[in-house]
Structure 1
Amino acid sequence: MKIEQLHQHFLESSGICTDTRKITPNCLFFALKGDNFDGNTFAQEALDKGALKVVIDDMRHHKNTGETILCGNVLHTLQKLASFHRNQLGIPIVALTGSNGKTTTKELINAVLSKKFRTTATLGNLNNHIGVPLTLLSMNKETEMGIVEMGANHLKEIETLSKIAQPNYGYITNFGKAHLEGFGSLEGVVRGKSELYKNISERDKMVFVNGNDPKQMELTASMNRNTFGKDGTDCPVQLLESSGTLVIGYKGLQIKSNLIGIYNFHNIAAAIAMGSYFEVTPEAIKEAIEGYIPTMNRSQLMEKNGHHIILDAYNANPTSMMAALENFEQSEGSSKLMILGDMFELGDVAHEEHQKIANFVADHSFGTAYLVGENFFGIRSNSDNITAFKNFEDFKSSEVLKNLPASSILIKGSRGMALERVLELL
């Protein structure tokens, strides 16, 4: 079947579904494969639950009654459909990637741009080879601007996602020590994330660039770009307050955000820069930034039983972990406690990077640290303020948090550590 015909079926459907547990009447079901499942085997179930059509790539499940659409590869067909749909809409699309801060920055950009445009943005962190197509296919004729987050842990992934989304505007938050197991090195991270720059440059589109980041400025020197930062940029912004939640200065306005950590300054600044470029009023930008409240375990501020808690347990890598610790060291509070979980996908440098974190905590001595996970359990430290546990169950059974006096607590670790469980112990 030609992509034009499939697209017509899509327009007649209620939307895309890839999970029979979430079938909606009249949807278009794509029978994707995974390591432990084959969506083709659920084709009949999808039809029985009300799917309009089922896209499959296994002849054994094909029906000659028109209910199934046989293709060579379901995933590739989904991606081609998304790209075709994106071209049919013809709307401007902002794509962003980076090692840290992607989802927070995407949410901030969406908050700002939605003050002027009807936007559609990536839901949560659905930013991979399936999530990006689904984001594009969630856009419709009412959408005036799309905001697409792109994630990757190997070279060529951003290249593929960029070809699917064909963005008009691009932004890379930063280059950090994330997914080193897949990228191989920090240099590999730079090459992988910069695949977005390559795509933008080849199509003569535009990028937004942190003017205070020398590497970003170097890589985009020959590109059509809009810069932002503290001074001497197209969109100058100021950091007015950082001891608590960040206060930003922009065009004479004070923007009081709900975000902590100097590392979030450029995330906010990027959203302001895009708002400025697309002529969102300064007052509307201020309202959008001040109205954004972090969720999903990302730099969430909360109080519980007298404790002041920073819950940043959605993910972690050496760069983001160090930034969180440096911010926590500078924050207010006399009694400080850190509960840090393993950082995943670091490959051969896992031990080295976990040791660096432990060394920082030991050398700076600004609070007590409980390190949780097999990687942290393998570090060496004679510091009295550090205790390591092999896993969360050992940490929980130790009851070190029992009868804990009121404290400032930082909770941070990779998603697989699920350190939000600490809240149950407080």
Structure 2
Amino acid sequence: VPSTLLRIRPEHTIALIETGANHPGEIKTLAEIVDPDFGIITNVGMAHLEGFGSLEGVKRTKGELYDYLRAKHGTVFLDNDSEELTVMAGGLHCICYGKPCNEVLSVEGEIEECAPFLKIRWRPAGGEWQKVESRLIGDYNLKNMLAAALIGCTFGVGVEQINEALAAYEPRNNRSQLLKTGDNTLIVDAYNANPTSMRAAIENFCNMKVERRMAILGDMGELGASSWQAHQDIVNLLVESGIDHVWLVGPKFRAARHPFRTFDNVEQVKRALAIEKPHKYYILIKGSHGTRLYDLPACL
């Protein structure tokens, strides 16, 4: 955060700063440094539980941004569909986005197709419906697109410019990337993983209208005392998923009870891929950064 702030120059009129955390109190400290006028929490999930202690700890820590803005009489961009965030944002001035409902939202939208790229329609309050075909995969990215559209509208970006930006954005850095190799189509989401994002990725993968699915999933880190149950819950989901082949990587997945093939590390997976050479599969690759599953695309 400080290094980003130090790059701000007189010609800049808006700065968008990420205040990340994995322990209580860190967002409070960062908010005091940034002194924001607006804020957005996109979701609350079971991440970094080793530092936060529980989902309630996650909510309290992320809520430190809301606390700062509440004291400053700032503004929050709010996902109207999230009951948790709505409760947390009590007493704040909110500009809302979400799926169409009985309320008047500043931006509303819905999915039209997800096969595999996400196509949505959205509109600002009182405006015409806009259709965008993105380069994003995963129905969970609807909310990210709506949040971006809302923030653009709030700061005077034109609807056509917003559409162009949403359509042109292509994920990088192993975050929900779709890659086509000579043999397979890969969904690479190996920058990080937690129970919430892992479940969303698996469910979206199962909803894709494709044949011959394979999942290579790595351990989820920083879950503390919740780790064993979190991994067991994921393998229980996988048992019901109908995915053709599931490979699990790391000691945490190995310790859970399941029928799937396991590997100690990514190097073992590479050796197996060199021998077995999957062909014409859609392959989901997801795990925490420490599992290094981001090395696998070169092998597929």
If the TM-score is normalised by the length of the shorter chain, which range does it land in? over 0.9
Q: For the Cα contact (< 8 Å) 2:19–2:27, is it kept in 1? A: yes
Matched, 1:180 2:42: no
**Could you say if the C-alpha distance between residues 399 and 295 of structure 1 is closer, same or farther in structure 2, counting changes exceeding 3 Å?**
closer
Q: For the Cα contact (< 8 Å) 2:114–2:138, is it kept in 1? A: yes
* One-letter code aligned to 2:298: E
Determine what percentage of the aligned residue pairs are the same residue: 39
Q: Distance in 2 between matches of 1:397 and 1:294?
A: 28
Q: Distance in 2 between matches of 1:194 and 1:149?
A: 14
* One-letter code aligned to 1:229: G
**Structure 2 counterpart of 1:150, from 10, 16, 19:** 19
* One-letter code aligned to 1:190: K
- Residue aligned with 1:276, SS: helix
- Residue 211 of structure 1 corresponds to 80
Q: For the Cα contact (< 8 Å) 1:243–1:331, is it kept in 2? A: yes
- Residue 162 of structure 2 corresponds to 285
Give the superposed CA RMSD.
1.3
- Residue 185 of structure 2 corresponds to 308
Give the Å deviation of 1:401.
5.9
Give the Å deviation of 1:150.
1.1
Matched, 1:223 2:110: no
Query: Which deviates more, 211-220 or 155-164?
Result: 211-220
Q: Between Structure 1 and Structure 2, whose CA radius of gyration is higher?
A: 1
Q: For the Cα contact (< 8 Å) 1:302–1:309, is it kept in 2? A: yes
* One-letter code aligned to 1:228: Y
Q: Distance in 2 between matches of 1:226 and 1:401?
A: 54
**Could you say if the C-alpha distance between residues 401 and 266 of structure 1 is closer, same or farther in structure 2, counting changes exceeding 3 Å?**
farther
Q: Distance in 2 between matches of 1:406 and 1:150?
A: 40
Give the Å deviation of 1:403.
2.8
Matched, 1:335 2:195: no
- Residue 62 of structure 1 corresponds to none
**Could you say if the C-alpha distance between residues 376 and 401 of structure 1 is closer, same or farther in structure 2, counting changes exceeding 3 Å?**
farther
Give the Å deviation of 1:393.
2.5
**Structure 1 counterpart of 2:145, from 265, 268, 280:** 268
Unaligned runs of 5+ in 1: 1-131
Residues 384-395 of structure 1 aligned to structure 2 (within 5 Å): 386-395=260-269
TM-score relative to the length of structure 2: 0.94
Give the Å deviation of 1:399.
4.0
- Residue 406 of structure 1 corresponds to 280
Q: For the Cα contact (< 8 Å) 2:186–2:297, is it kept in 1? A: no
Give the Å deviation of 1:293.
0.6
TM-score relative to the length of structure 1: 0.67
* One-letter code aligned to 1:312: D
- Residue aligned with 1:148, SS: coil
Give the Å deviation of 1:316.
0.5
- Residue 163 of structure 1 corresponds to 32
Matched, 1:418 2:295: no
Q: For the Cα contact (< 8 Å) 1:245–1:261, is it kept in 2? A: yes
Query: Which deviates more, 325-334 or 157-166?
Result: 325-334
Q: Distance in 1 between matches of 2:160 and 2:268?
A: 50
* One-letter code aligned to 1:392: V
User: Aligned pairs, how many?
Assistant: 292
Q: State the Cα deviation string for residues 385-421 of structure 1 (Å, max 9, x = none).
A: x211122223233347623221000000111111121
